[in-house]
Amino acid sequence: MNENELPATDKGSGEVGLKKSAMPSEEYAIELKGITKRFGEVVANDNVSMGVKKGEILALLGENGSGKTTLMNMISGIYYPDEGQIFIDGKEVKITSPRDALALGVGMVHQHFKLVDVLTATENIVLGLPGKLNLKEAEEKIRAICDKYGFVIEPNKKVYDMNVSEKQTVEIVKVLYRGANILILDEPTAVLTPQEAERLFRVMWKMRNDNKSIIIITHKMHEVKEISDRVVVLRKGQYIGEMATEDSDIQEMTNMMVGHAVSLNIERKDPVNPTPKIIVENLTILDEEGVPKISDVSFTANSGEILGIAGISGCGQKELLEAIAGLQSVESGHVYYVEDDGSKTDLMNLSPLKIQQKGVALSFIPEDRLGMGLVGSMNIPDNMMLRSFRDGHLFTNRKEPRHLAETVVEDLSVVTPGLSVPVKNLSGGNVQKVLVGREIASNPKVLLTAYAVRGLDINSSYTIYELINKQKEAGSAVIYVGEDLDVLLELSDRILVLCGGKVSGLVDGRTANKDEVGLMMMSVGGKRS
């Protein structure tokens, strides 16, 4: 199968043709007993006991701040437990560093890849290994691993020439090359197309059937149901329970994560008096090297409507939203804001502050939560107050931002020891809640959302979807960039598809399907509706 071929699927099921064959062994590859980890007064993991069997895919579920990442960081050697024991193949071990973990056969593939762009796949895979290296022998070993599990990789290809799926493949092959039998995959499909995700699932099942043990962290519940053998749920740092995936459903898993029944319906109402609010004409954006990130893109975003933008990560979504918000230099083209009286204002020559001072309420939720979105050293109320400063008010009443902070913490269930804690001390998902809550609370006329639910648990994500829908109902023009195509199709009225920085198609969110949009994300020249 070459890189562009798709795996076979069962007719009508949407599941990958290669099935999980043998049942997992009853032997545990890794067991945790009574694991506790504290950070000051915060107990991240509280007496957690769980295990992963040989030849098993285990989904680790939990809300933001439930302790999933901390627990995996102890298995992979980034943290060391304050209490408890870790057993591998029945023997108690001490894991004090990632090197220790790899020596014991444990490898973690992080969501944000740790590769050197100027090196080849082979060079990245062997980087840091002891002894004299023979690249030719290494390449042969890499090809053998790829042939065994079905990876598609070119060992001599430079990382900077790879797409996201290829980079992830390099990361997985890297830990397998180093002898990992227990793999931890953190949000492995977050930036993959449906077709790439299916290809990854085939590889995971082959590894499982080769007696590898895999722990997957994901908030995409339909993937949990499709790929895993068993589910373990954490809540507020504690082990809550487990279930066989085939004996459960998404609703039951979600209820166990949250502790109460949760509605999993995204209500999509008809657009509210849709009229043009943002008009993008022939927009071209170049990167630092003069390479187009966005090429001749044109579209209209209407008030009272959600326009979804689909595309493989890095295909220009971020630059597109930054250009609309006045945060990105543009090579050519125009972005017009349609005033209430129907007149148009070209935003290209205005700074972000001047755009806001003209009353153009653009609200931008960036990919980078800290630094660009929030100030990590500041607490939640002070980060809320930043919007007042951005709006041009030098002095502001501190009561309002504190009240807003209290509202966001309560409505979005932000896990924090208190309002005075610097946001950099919060988990990534809770930082995202603070940022999204602040931006949506401003009730903008145009809401730009870039990965608003990235890293958020399912309950928080659905709260955000509801808030976005309320903005639409209030007449805002919403431009929504998301990674989960199932959500894009449920939430969006129309979907603009980008491929390589160009418009691949424009489809109706009510009638399009995931495979159709996924294929358009991989090739220019799609459909319009």
d(CA 525, CA 20) in angstroms, rounded, equals 36
Measured CA to CA in angstroms, residue 93 lies from 19, 21, 175, 211, 524 at distances of 34, 31, 19, 21, 52
With contact defined as beta carbons under 8 Å apart, do 303 and 275 qualify?
yes
- In the numeric block, the tokens 């109902």 are attached to 473
Q: pLDDT tens track of the chain, all 529 residues? A: 333 333 333 333 334 444 555 667 789 999 999 999 999 888 999 999 999 999 999 999 998 778 998 999 999 999 999 999 999 999 999 999 999 999 999 999 987 788 999 999 999 999 988 888 889 999 999 999 999 999 989 999 999 999 888 999 999 999 999 999 999 998 888 777 778 888 899 999 999 999 999 999 988 888 899 999 999 999 989 999 999 999 999 889 988 988 877 777 788 888 988 999 999 999 999 988 888 999 999 999 999 999 999 988 778 888 899 899 888 899 999 999 999 889 999 998 888 877 666 656 555 555 556 666 688 889 999 888 876 655 545 445 678 888 889 988 988 878 888 898 898 888 767 887 888 888 787 778 899 888 888 767 788 888 888 889 989 999 999 999 988 888 899 999 999 999 989 999 999 999 998 889 988 988 755 555 5
**Fold match between domain 28-112+178-252 and domain 276-522:** yes
Domain spans, the chain: 28-112+178-252, 276-522
Q: How many residues does the chain have?
A: 529
Look at the domain 276-522 and name its fold: Rossmann fold (3.40.50)
Beta partners for residue 359, in sequence order: none
* Domain spanning 28-112+178-252, CATH architecture: 3-Layer(aba) Sandwich (3.40)
Alpha-carbon torsion (52, 184, 201, 307), positive or negative: positive
- Number of neighbours of residue 38 by Cβ within 10 angstroms: 14
d(CA 442, CA 440) in angstroms, rounded, equals 5
d(CA 342, CA 275) in angstroms, rounded, equals 10
SS3 310: strand
Contacts of 196 by beta carbon, 8 Å cutoff, 6+ apart: 164, 165, 189
For Cα atoms 142, 148, 149, give the angle at the middle one, nearest 5 degrees.
Answer: 95
DSSP readout, 231-279?
EEEEETTEEEEEEEGGG--HHHHHHHHHSS--------PPPSS--EEEE
